[in-house]
Structure 1
Amino acid sequence: MLLRCVRTTLAAARHFSAEAVAKSTTTGGTTGTTTNTGGRDTLGRRLLSLVYAKRSAVIAIQKWKEEGHTVRKYELNRVVRELRKLRRYKHALEVCEWMTIQDDIKLVPGDYAVHLDLIAKVRGVNSAEKFFEDLPDRMKGQPTCTALLHTYVQHKESNKAEALMGKMSECGFLKNPLPYNHMLSLYISNGQLEKVPELIQELKKNASPDVVTYNLWLTVCASENDVETAEKVFLELKKARINPDWVTYSTLTNLYIKNHQLEKASSTLKEMEKRTSRKVRAAYSSLISLHTNMGNKDEVNRIWKKIKSTFPKMNDAEYTCMISSLLKLKAFEEAENLYTEWESVSGTGDSRIPNLLLAAYINKNQMEMAENFYNRIVQRGIAPSYTTWELLTWGYLKQKQTDKGLDCFMKAVSSVNKWDPDERLVREVFRTLEDQGNVEGAEQLLVTLRNVGHVTTGIYNLLLQTYAKAGKMPLIVAERMKKDKVQLDEETHELIRLTSQMCISEASSCLS
């Protein structure tokens, strides 16, 4: 439950942070939506049709001008906004950079705020800092400072963010809740919840909280499982005459479900659905998840039909949500049918979706079905991911099929550029090898771990435990550990002493 709560908190923090940056970068003509041009040729259409990152937005703009067309700032700002929505940050940045060198385009701090945000996304925080430092003083106002603050929040640079907040306070740039919302997101994502109450009090002295502030505050209450405070926060929001949004009610519903207050959860869930629309598509998936947690299978299916009637095509995130919900509700056949539907309509080849069913088969100890399903995945051209191999490793270990499990583990490790060590999985593989006295497999595992730079004292101790179980003596362990720059501890010395009295094994000399 605690892990789920933390995940919910982090997801909410990311959502609010994204919403906040959208607000912080609308100053200076970036508001508005793409107009319907009725199919006619426009500069916006040309820029949005580039698609491939290697193509140049600057060349497209210059060609447009050479053809005798006028380039208008408001149109470019609108295109930048659309490109950012599509996460095509490189082209958006090229447009911003082109505008900065045009004598006939007058830029305002809001334009530079957008520019800074894009630099951070494309080139990193250091480049964003350099860009800010090089700005004329008149452009280092509230919008650009807030954009830099958001960059620090995204990169979890707590010290820099707090220092910048101090400078913004001195300059009188904290007259609205946006910078505070950024800091709240940072503290939530970093687990620094103790800093939240003081920050909110400071916000109230300088500005008025908005719905994002209250949603973040409710997220903190949810992470601390504090229903009483959450209800007080919600009451304060209502007294401030702020309209709660779907996130508000989603957070409250989740909290009520965790505390088995299902009547209140049903009430807030109804209010949440009233605030769900095409404009907030993610809300539908949240509705499905919450109904799933309440065990409302009929409601889950109803919301799914509602999504299908609202949007022409479901995306992978929605299929993931629905398949996960069906599996959680023990509707395995329906989940399998929905997966087949996804196969027929999606061309993404995202392995995360088949991994849901693969995990379900493995959890039900249906290893033969898991193997058949894996073969189906491969035949469909879906590349197995690290998680695919990890799931198969666990499955084979549960079935005591050690050789297959070890092979899948090696494939898992080699499938990523940088492996984030999973100590629990490593220990389970070693434990299985130890139970079987499989010193050859243990040595192969050591080689695999060495190749990815994960050899520790604990790993060697697990290897030695396998030798002890097998009643065999490894060769030159101390020398091998020295070569790997690994220290011996008391357990290592005891295991070496114990195994030195056993018969010699050839495995360590062959695999080192």
Structure 2
Amino acid sequence: MLVSRRLVPLAAGGGAARMVTSAAEVAAEGGGGEGGRGDTLGRRLLKLIYPKRSAAVVLRRWSEEGRTVQKYQLNRVVRELRKYRRFKHALEICEWMRTQPEMRLLPGDHAVHLDLVAKVRGLPSAEKFFEDMPERAKGPSTCSALLHTYVQHGRRDKAEAMLGEMAKAGYLTCALPFNHMMSLYMSTGELEKVPEMIKELRRYTTPDLVTYNIWLTYCSKKNSVKSAEKVYDLMKDEKVAPDWMTFSLLGSIYINAGLHVKGRDALVEMEKRASRKERAAYSSLLTLYASLSDRGNLDRLWSKMRQLFRKFSDTEYKCMLTSLTRFGDIAEAESVYSEWESTSGTCDSRIPNTILSFYIKNGMMEKAESFLNHIVQKGVKPSYSTWELFVWGYLSNDRMDNVLECLKKALSSLEKWDPNPQLATAIYSRIEEKADIEAAEKLLVMFREAGYVTTEMYNSVLRTYAKAELMPLIVDERMDQDKVAMDDETRRLLRLTSKYPIGEVSTLMS
């Protein structure tokens, strides 16, 4: 079935979920080539880089030119488009295929279609697509696809209900649905449910490679070397061939436990399984050799990658830069960064952030500021993480005006802020020390606009007023508006500050 391997979560399954076909192969096979050797349907479809362009229009024109369209070719193009996250065009191809009476769609095709509907139009549309599907198509693969969609959207209740329905229908004949559920429990932190799900899996079928890799990830979360070794032994007993992800997980577990000899052995096995097809293994290897403080193997591997690949990905550059800064070799890191800057063209802020992080953590704020100006001139748009790095840097230098300025830029760069209580506490603590009521009130306004206000924040503002020996105004009204409850500390601080003269900033900020 077309869907069964593709829907395996990448983080859990590693190589098992990766696509084999290259874009060049797909393009070469994608049509009859009557208009010339270079003109194929695959090439035409893969050229649709911009979402506004329509794959359906390309398919219609191809047919109008009297050329044949074969289902297997479109399936390959869809796989390649999904690989590069070009879901809209992949969905348009699937929708066009449904309108062609001569194309016999299998349950796996419907499953891929459902997955794409979920990615492009959301969960409700995917559920409706499933409901409207012919009954003959509602088999194990389409049910697994819907289950996977529930997992991706964090709908544990619906995912568990779907698993129950699949059990009743006799569809739990492979490990895939259980792997989805284990991935869900891992993501929600419900680690205790992973062993339970493995037991349930064994009632119906046998674990596969992805199952074992998720199981090892569970062992990693539990920091249990003994459990990981038992899982690996069981894997060998059941003759399930490990992949590079298996040894990456084992290597990480050993290294974190200080078992460096075993960790190196795992990395040797991991590298044996790295290849052009399993390219992601190299990024993981770079990181793991750096965590072993093994500069020799880090440099050897980077040189090997230069021989294997014409161009590095952003992920590979980021892993190498992070590794070099871990060794403190900022000169080499700057050289690698310059190479990325001249070849990539993506302007991904995560890459320069690795350099900025090194500068800031090492107190090199002037260099960080200069580098920020440089990357902006080169077209990089600073991200939330970029500005947060500067917030921490300025905070350590007591430059509170800069802290608030960068925090404002950080919060404005997001549609919705995922609160960072540690950051808020650190800033308020410094403001309290300085008895800076203006900064305290400005910060409260910023966090309110970001949708994050707590009782402790108000308490910190009140402590700042108390240290300045000033009284804030209408605190109770402001807390009511923010739907924040007072606690005993709030009341104590209100009584204390009521003895002081009114702070002018309070009236301004309220």
Q: Into which bin does the TM-score normalised by the smaller protein fall?
A: over 0.9
Structure 2 contact 12–217 (Cα < 8 Å) conserved: no
Q: Residue 376 of structure 2 corresponds to which residue in structure 1?
A: 378
Q: Residue 296 of structure 1 corresponds to which residue in structure 2?
A: 294
Structure 1 contact 472–499 (Cα < 8 Å) conserved: yes
Q: 1:181 to 1:351 in 2, by over 3 A?
A: same
Q: Which amino acid counterpart does residue 34 of structure 1 have in structure 2?
A: V
Q: 1:123 to 1:510 in 2, by over 3 A?
A: same
The alpha-carbon deviation at position 494 of structure 1 amounts to 1.4
Structure 1 contact 211–244 (Cα < 8 Å) conserved: yes
Q: Residue 124 of structure 1 corresponds to which residue in structure 2?
A: 122
Number of residues of Structure 1 aligned to a counterpart in Structure 2:
494
State the Cα deviation string for residues 214-250 of structure 1 (Å, max 9, x = none): 1111111121122222212212222222221111111
Q: Which amino acid counterpart does residue 503 of structure 2 have in structure 1?
A: S
Moved more, 188-197 or 288-297: 188-197
Q: Residue 352 of structure 2 corresponds to which residue in structure 1?
A: 354
Q: 1:201 to 1:440 in 2, by over 3 A?
A: closer
Q: Residue 101 of structure 2 corresponds to which residue in structure 1?
A: 103
Q: Residue 6 of structure 1 corresponds to which residue in structure 2?
A: none
- 1: CA distance, partners of 2:435 / 2:237: 68
- 2: CA distance, partners of 1:17 / 1:360: 32
Q: 1:231 to 1:451 in 2, by over 3 A?
A: closer
Give the aligned CA root-mean-square deviation in angstroms. Answer: 2.1
- 2: CA distance, partners of 1:22 / 1:170: 31
Moved more, 14-23 or 42-51: 14-23
The alpha-carbon deviation at position 341 of structure 1 amounts to 1.9
Q: Which amino acid counterpart does residue 447 of structure 2 have in structure 1?
A: L
Structure 2 contact 283–316 (Cα < 8 Å) conserved: yes
The alpha-carbon deviation at position 312 of structure 1 amounts to 0.5
Question: Which residue, 5, 15, 23 being the options, matches 2:11?
Answer: 15
Q: Which amino acid counterpart does residue 16 of structure 1 have in structure 2?
A: A
Alignment of 1:402-441 (within 5 A): 402-441=400-439
Q: Residue 446 of structure 1 corresponds to which residue in structure 2?
A: 444
Q: Which amino acid counterpart does residue 297 of structure 1 have in structure 2?
A: R
Gaps of 5+ in 1: 1-11, 27-31
Percent of counterpart pairs with the same letter?
Answer: 53
Question: Which residue, 213, 224, 228 being the options, matches 2:222?
Answer: 224
The alpha-carbon deviation at position 94 of structure 1 amounts to 0.9
Q: Residue 492 of structure 1 corresponds to which residue in structure 2?
A: 490
Q: 1:22 to 1:302 in 2, by over 3 A?
A: closer
Q: Which amino acid counterpart does residue 193 of structure 1 have in structure 2?
A: L
Q: Residue 3 of structure 2 corresponds to which residue in structure 1?
A: none
The alpha-carbon deviation at position 455 of structure 1 amounts to 2.9
Q: Residue 4 of structure 1 corresponds to which residue in structure 2?
A: none
Q: Residue 202 of structure 1 corresponds to which residue in structure 2?
A: 200
The alpha-carbon deviation at position 121 of structure 1 amounts to 0.9
Moved more, 302-311 or 415-424: 415-424
Q: 1:143 to 1:474 in 2, by over 3 A?
A: same
- 2: CA distance, partners of 1:36 / 1:140: 34
Moved more, 132-141 or 275-284: 132-141
Structure 1 contact 20–181 (Cα < 8 Å) conserved: no
- 1: CA distance, partners of 2:482 / 2:188: 34
Q: Residue 34 of structure 1 corresponds to which residue in structure 2?
A: 26
Q: Does 1:50 align with 2:42?
A: no
Q: Which amino acid counterpart does residue 67 of structure 1 have in structure 2?
A: E
State the Cα deviation string for residues 418-448 of structure 1 (Å, max 9, x = none): 1222222122222222211111122222222
Q: Residue 263 of structure 1 corresponds to which residue in structure 2?
A: 261
Q: 1:343 to 1:507 in 2, by over 3 A?
A: same
The alpha-carbon deviation at position 253 of structure 1 amounts to 0.8
Q: Residue 3 of structure 1 corresponds to which residue in structure 2?
A: none
The alpha-carbon deviation at position 14 of structure 1 amounts to 4.2
Report the 3-state secondary structure (helix = DSSP H, G, I; strand = E; otherwise coil) of the residue aligned with 1:472: coil
Question: Which residue, 360, 365, 368 being the options, matches 2:366?
Answer: 368
- 2: CA distance, partners of 1:123 / 1:17: 26
Report the TM-score, using the length of structure 1 for normalisation: 0.92
Q: Residue 480 of structure 2 corresponds to which residue in structure 1?
A: 482
Q: 1:134 to 1:263 in 2, by over 3 A?
A: same
The alpha-carbon deviation at position 321 of structure 1 amounts to 0.3
Q: 1:408 to 1:66 in 2, by over 3 A?
A: same
Q: Which amino acid counterpart does residue 88 of structure 1 have in structure 2?
A: R
Question: Which residue, 140, 143, 164 being the options, matches 1:142?
Answer: 140
- 2: CA distance, partners of 1:97 / 1:329: 51
Q: 1:194 to 1:450 in 2, by over 3 A?
A: closer
Moved more, 87-96 or 76-85: 76-85
The alpha-carbon deviation at position 332 of structure 1 amounts to 2.1
Structure 1 contact 158–186 (Cα < 8 Å) conserved: yes
- 2: CA distance, partners of 1:210 / 1:441: 56
Report the 3-state secondary structure (helix = DSSP H, G, I; strand = E; otherwise coil) of the residue aligned with 1:418: coil
Q: 1:181 to 1:477 in 2, by over 3 A?
A: closer
- 2: CA distance, partners of 1:476 / 1:177: 60
- 2: CA distance, partners of 1:48 / 1:422: 41
The alpha-carbon deviation at position 285 of structure 1 amounts to 0.8
Report the 3-state secondary structure (helix = DSSP H, G, I; strand = E; otherwise coil) of the residue aligned with 1:492: helix
Gaps of 5+ in 2: 1-7
Q: 1:307 to 1:22 in 2, by over 3 A?
A: closer
Alignment of 1:81-100 (within 5 A): 81-100=79-98
Q: Residue 215 of structure 1 corresponds to which residue in structure 2?
A: 213
The alpha-carbon deviation at position 138 of structure 1 amounts to 1.1
Report the 3-state secondary structure (helix = DSSP H, G, I; strand = E; otherwise coil) of the residue aligned with 1:504: coil
Q: 1:386 to 1:458 in 2, by over 3 A?
A: same
The alpha-carbon deviation at position 13 of structure 1 amounts to 5.9
Q: Residue 325 of structure 2 corresponds to which residue in structure 1?
A: 327
Report the 3-state secondary structure (helix = DSSP H, G, I; strand = E; otherwise coil) of the residue aligned with 2:274: coil
Report the 3-state secondary structure (helix = DSSP H, G, I; strand = E; otherwise coil) of the residue aligned with 1:126: helix
- 1: CA distance, partners of 2:326 / 2:95: 49
- 2: CA distance, partners of 1:212 / 1:461: 49
Q: Residue 157 of structure 1 corresponds to which residue in structure 2?
A: 155
Alignment of 1:170-181 (within 5 A): 170-181=168-179
Alignment of 1:302-321 (within 5 A): 302-321=300-319
Q: Which amino acid counterpart does residue 296 of structure 1 have in structure 2?
A: D
Structure 1 contact 33–78 (Cα < 8 Å) conserved: no
Q: 1:386 to 1:218 in 2, by over 3 A?
A: same
- 2: CA distance, partners of 1:80 / 1:353: 30
- 2: CA distance, partners of 1:178 / 1:373: 47
Q: Which amino acid counterpart does residue 223 of structure 1 have in structure 2?
A: K
- 2: CA distance, partners of 1:67 / 1:370: 57
Q: Which amino acid counterpart does residue 307 of structure 1 have in structure 2?
A: M
Q: Residue 394 of structure 2 corresponds to which residue in structure 1?
A: 396
Q: 1:231 to 1:282 in 2, by over 3 A?
A: same
- 1: CA distance, partners of 2:134 / 2:391: 57
Structure 1 contact 181–213 (Cα < 8 Å) conserved: yes
Q: Which amino acid counterpart does residue 340 of structure 1 have in structure 2?
A: S
Q: Which amino acid counterpart does residue 380 of structure 1 have in structure 2?
A: K
- 2: CA distance, partners of 1:151 / 1:33: 29
Report the 3-state secondary structure (helix = DSSP H, G, I; strand = E; otherwise coil) of the residue aligned with 1:221: helix
- 1: CA distance, partners of 2:154 / 2:508: 46
